Amino acid sequence: MDKLIDKARLSDWITALADWEVFAPALEDGVWTFKAAGEAVSLGHTNVKQPPKDFAFPQREIYFSFEQVKGEPPRLTQKLPAEAKRVVFGVRPCDGRAVPRMDRVFNDPQFPDAYYQARRNGLAYVGLACNRPVAPTCFCKSVGGSPVSSEGMDVLLTDLGDRYFVQAVTKTGEALVAAADKLFVKASPADKKALEKTHADAEAQPQRAIADAAGAAKKLKANFDSPLWETLAQGCIGCGICTFLCPTCHCFDINDEVTGTAPMKGNRVRTWDNCQFPDFTMHTSGHNPRETLGSRLRQRVCHKFQYFHENYGMLQCTGCGRCVSECPVGIDIVNVVNKVTENVA
Amino acid sequence: MIKIQDIRDAARDMLAKGEVRAVIGWQRGSRGMAAEPVVINAPEQADGLVWDPTCYHNLSLYLVNDKKAQAHAKQKPTLPIAIIAKGCDARSCVVLMQENYFRRDDIYIIGVSCEGTGVIDERKLAVALGGVKPTSAAFDGDDYVVTLPDGSEKRLPAREVMADRCLECREPFPKENNIALGEDKTGRALEAPFAALARFEQQSEAERWNYWQRQFDRCIRCFACRSVCPMCFCDECVVDSIEMKVAPTTSAEEKASRVRWIERSNTLADNFGYHMTRAMHLAGRCIDCGECERVCPVNIPLRLLNNKMEREAREQFGYEPGASIGGPSLVSSFRDDDPGTWIR
């Protein structure tokens, strides 16, 4: 059901969610980050620097601990995270659209990931529509999204001046609203009109554009060997900003971290990996199939616009623009896709 | 003031005459105000070069990358490569040559003076403009002139939105050069050297400890600070999860028993380990181009660490990195007249 809440009552809503651990954007040292919500929450952020990806897929996940006393078989203890009711407020539509994409990878019916599922179960997202693009680097409309999309959200809020229009999208979303029922008023037809106008205005805001995102998969495939990849990666420094700040990048690495030697013990740990790092997919033989910066840029872009599309029928990029705005040297995925796909039939 | 045409002419001439095989410079980016690094190798490409307050990148990094690429391809270039270098960039070229990373003849320095107005700090600019992102920026005397998305222009005193490193810069003129453009305004530091560090050190030890814990706690270990640094030229970095120099003859035992000083996990302890290692490796080598701090996506004030080491080098050994190619480097030299008393 569609409802409204006064902005001044937002903190009361959060307080009423006593069964939930609540997170909201906070500005610390100049960086917008999702933090445990304090008493005064206002959704005054543009977008958070890091997407809410790590709530379900943290940068570091311990699979199990191991211990081996000499002469005895190794003892392994699985470290499955406890399920908890957590809700993240202020998620932007681009980051919301990343949720079903991450779910598709880690809740794959054939290869379900128990660690992801344990964190994802009980995790809810309260989104905030973008009445205007939060940055000049936004391009959600180019990749099939919308600044007012509720995809991946449990609740979508839309800023109507002094109030939020509240749309519960899922059963969990309805429960979040029901938990503080008294704070909400029913939306009148006039409110709905105001919402429609706000959403239409938001959709009409100009954004940067990818010329043919829908056809990009085929065109990128045709241009796999293009010399453009190396040219476009010329300035690349091979850091991990673009993928570590990406709401949908999900490559990971697994290492054994040894913490003691007598007896030998430690943890098997999963950490985010990064296709821009020089050792990404390097073989134990020393051979590296993606040795150059160009081949690694191609991997990043084609994963989002070609391989993911081939595997799951959707683009992996949601147009948040972080990889563009945060790149230290101006590598620009919009420009890269446009350049590599132009003049390809 | 430097005319962009002079930079373009210099680059075009050198390429046309076949004096250099490429020129490393800046071009306009595709995403808005910021310039981006570019390597050009044909005279006609010189028209795409730009010079404005967003040319903050220290391009000597690309000299290092070029050298690595040449070594990898087992090529010996016959022509030098040219680089457009600000004062700080030229000093980092000096350090690299001091450390024999390349020879003076290998490179051709087109020096550009910052003339005391330095480069923009985009975070300060965002605050000054209330989050509005300009589409371009230009030098004009002691001011920057930025163009806003609605086409209007706004004039800002450079000093107000200039990068901290430029406020504290002692040498905005690239002394080491083959040709130099712009006025020499050396000695025009707007703030005292190490001013930010001095302010920071007024805090108690406990405050500083808490401060760094908070900073390192949010590090995402993207390694942009390492990757952007021209001094971080090691073929193998201590933080990379596997060794690069694995050969078919490397045994499984050797691979398994490699020492991992720092895990890839972004735990506070490993983050501390990484940042301390990085800072220590830059002692007596960092010329304060400030790129590590600029590129950090989570605003960790890395210059404080580098400046601390730089000041130690100065106070203990009277050492100034990047001063002369033939001079001794800090960690490979010994002098009887070192000002520090502890060594005697």
Confidence of residue B2 (pLDDT cuts 50, 70, 90): very high
Asked if A269 and B297 come within 8 Å (Cβ–Cβ), the reply is: no
**Optimal mutation site among A329, A333, A340, interface B, most CBs of chain B within 10 A:** A329
Beta strands B179-181; B107-112: pairing state: parallel
Closest CA to A179 of A13, A2, A4: A13
**Percent helix / strand / coil, chain A, rounded to 5:** 35, 20, 45
pLDDT at B73 (0 to 100): 86
CA distance B54 to chain A (A): 11
**Phi (first) and psi of residue B108, to 5 degrees:** -130, 115
CB of B73 less than 8 A from some CB of A: no
Statement: residue B10 has pLDDT above 70: yes
Option in A136, A238, A271 nearest B32 (CB): A136
**Optimal mutation site among B62, B218, B220, B250, interface A, most CBs of chain A within 10 A:** B220
pTM over 0.80: yes
pLDDT at B343 (0 to 100): 59
Asked if B31 and A285 come within 8 Å (Cβ–Cβ), the reply is: no
pLDDT at B188 (0 to 100): 59
- Report the chain A residue with the minimal C-alpha distance to residue B66: A234
**C-alpha–C-alpha distance, residues A59 and A275, integer Å:** 15
pLDDT at B342 (0 to 100): 63
Q: What is the mean pLDDT of residues A332-344?
A: 94
CA distance B342 to chain A (A): 37
Calculated CA dihedral for residues A51, A52, A55, A58, nearest 10 degrees: 0
**C-alpha–C-alpha distance, residues A200 and A205, integer Å:** 9
Q: Measured between alpha carbons, how far is residue B167 from residues B183, B250, B308, B313 in Å? A: 17, 50, 17, 21
E strands present in chain A: 2-6, 21-28, 31-36, 60-68, 75-78, 86-91, 123-128, 155-159, 163-168, 185-186, 252-261, 264-272
CB of A225 less than 8 A from some CB of B: no
CB of A107 less than 8 A from some CB of B: no
pLDDT at B195 (0 to 100): 85
**C-alpha–C-alpha distance, residues A213 and A190, integer Å:** 37
Statement: residue B132 has pLDDT above 80: yes
pLDDT at B193 (0 to 100): 80
Beta-bridge partners for B66: none
Q: What is the mean pLDDT of residues A168-180?
A: 97
ipTM confidence = 0.94
CB of B133 less than 8 A from some CB of A: yes
Share above pLDDT 90 across residues of chain A, in percent, rounded to a whole number? 88
- Structural tokens at position B215: 């900073």
Give the rounded distance of the alpha carbon of B162 from its chain centre: 16
pLDDT at B134 (0 to 100): 94
Option in B227, B255, B267 nearest A284 (CB): B255
Asked if B224 and A239 come within 8 Å (Cβ–Cβ), the reply is: yes
- Structural tokens at position B254: 């050797």
Q: pLDDT, tens digit, for every residue of B205-249? A: 999 999 999 999 999 999 999 999 999 998 888 888 666 666 778
Statement: residue A15 has pLDDT above 70: yes
Preceding peptide of B230 cis, ω within 30°: no
Q: What is the mean pLDDT of residues A323-340?
A: 97
**C-alpha–C-alpha distance, residues A232 and A97, integer Å:** 28
Could you give the angle at the alpha carbon of B229 between the alpha carbons of B225 and B231, nearest 5°?
135
Statement: residue A215 has pLDDT above 70: yes
Option in A46, A257, A328 nearest B224 (CB): A328
pLDDT at B105 (0 to 100): 95
Q: What is the mean pLDDT of residues A183-205?
A: 97
pLDDT at B245 (0 to 100): 65
Share above pLDDT 90 across residues of chain B, in percent, rounded to a whole number? 70
Confidence of residue B170 (pLDDT cuts 50, 70, 90): confident
Option in B38, B61, B222 nearest A241 (CB): B222
pLDDT at B143 (0 to 100): 94
**C-alpha–C-alpha distance, residues B221 and A240, integer Å:** 8
Statement: residue B137 has pLDDT above 70: yes
Tell me the pLDDT of chain A averaged across its residues.
95
Asked if B223 and A239 come within 8 Å (Cβ–Cβ), the reply is: yes
Amino acid letter, A187: A
CB of B132 less than 8 A from some CB of A: no
pLDDT at B191 (0 to 100): 75
pLDDT at A171 (0 to 100): 97
pLDDT at B327 (0 to 100): 87
Residue A282: its chain B contacts at CB < 8 A? 242, 244
Inter-chain Cβ pairs, chain A and chain B, closer than 8 A: 130
